Amino acid sequence: MTNRSDITTDMTTLTRRQAILTAAGAVTAATAEAASGMTIESHVHLFDPTRVPYAPDAPYKPTAYSLEDHLKLVESAGLAHSIIVHPEPYQDDHRYLEYCLAHEPRPGYFKATCLFDPFRADTPQRLRELSDRWPRRIIAMRIHEMSMTPETTGPIRNRDMKDPRMTACWQAIASLGMAVEMHFIPGQAPAIHALAARFPDTTVILDHMGRPGQGTEAEYDEVLKLAALPHVILKYSNWPEYKGDLGKLTKRIYDTFGPERMIWGMVGTSQADYVKQSARFEELLAFASENERAGIRGGNAQRLFFT
């Protein structure tokens, strides 16, 4: 016969167990809610020519958007992280990038990409030195291929993708565990495919949706064929430059790469701009689930670059 004390003990144990499960469920729900609201800016250029002058051969010289400007957005929008994409106006001078890393809003907030000439013999050494100064912060080296005509001099862009020196550069990047970040026109997609296939363990980031408005439909088909390589991811960014139907393009990219290989970038430069871009993001990806949108908004970048 069960006595009252046994029943009381069992009920107490059950109540405690229910409380633990309820608390655990609340933590899981809170974590999921936090993840769904997390935004990571995967593509921000920071410039301050008053602090660090632009390179003499800078291909363009933009109005400043400084670290201090960006930190205002970080605070007002509650960004979880930002990836500084080292901009062309500084060429291979990374002093301002290093200033930003040294003055981040909290430890571990920033990651960054870098720019070196793939054809220079000292690029592997300089890449390693920068990485050693900032361990686990330099996630990729960016390569610009914005013309089908190779260039060997002038600004760091349009180096021949088929040159053995380019392959050696990819090898140096891979040896450091970094990604290759490609900024390119669609006509360069087959050359990128050939190199990416040779380095299956190296993440390859395709900037600005592969710039669909700067090539033919056949050339952009080659961009989408890069999705056959599982280590290639696409940056969902630079919407204004595409003059076609962005909604249809978004669905095409989503269907080809899958939401787990898309990361959102260029989320805005002010709070008002961020609110506008966020609303557009939700509109364009309304067909996707909330978990998928959360991944594109920040979860995928968190998994790839911040863990």
pLDDT mean by block of 10 residues, the chain; 307 residues: 38 34 34 60 98 97 98 98 98 98 98 98 98 98 98 97 98 98 98 98 98 97 98 98 97 98 98 98 98 98 97
Distance CA 133, CA 95 (A): 12
pLDDT at 34: 39
pLDDT at 36: 53
- Specify the pTM: 0.88
Angstrom CA distances, 192 to 129, 141, 153, 245, 273, stand at: 26, 14, 21, 26, 33
Q: Count CB-CB contacts under 10 A for residue 84.
A: 24
Distance CA 289, CA 279 (A): 16
* Beta carbons within 8 Å of 302's beta carbon, 6+ residues apart: 38, 40, 80, 81
pLDDT at 173: 98
Task: Classify the phi-psi angles of 110: left when phi > 0, otherwise alpha if psi is within -120 to 50, otherwise beta.
Answer: beta
Residue with tokens 């009381």: 8
Distance CA 206, CA 192 (A): 10
- Residue 265's closest CA among 298, 237, 296? 237
What's the farthest any 2 CA atoms get from each other in the chain?
A: 93
3-state secondary structure string across 70-91: HHHHHHHHCCCEEEEECCHHHC
Helix (H, G, I), strand (E, B) or coil at 194: helix
* Cα 156 versus chain centre, distance: 21
Q: 189-198 and 217-225 are packed helices; what angle lies between their axes, rounded to 10 degrees? A: 10
pLDDT at 26: 33
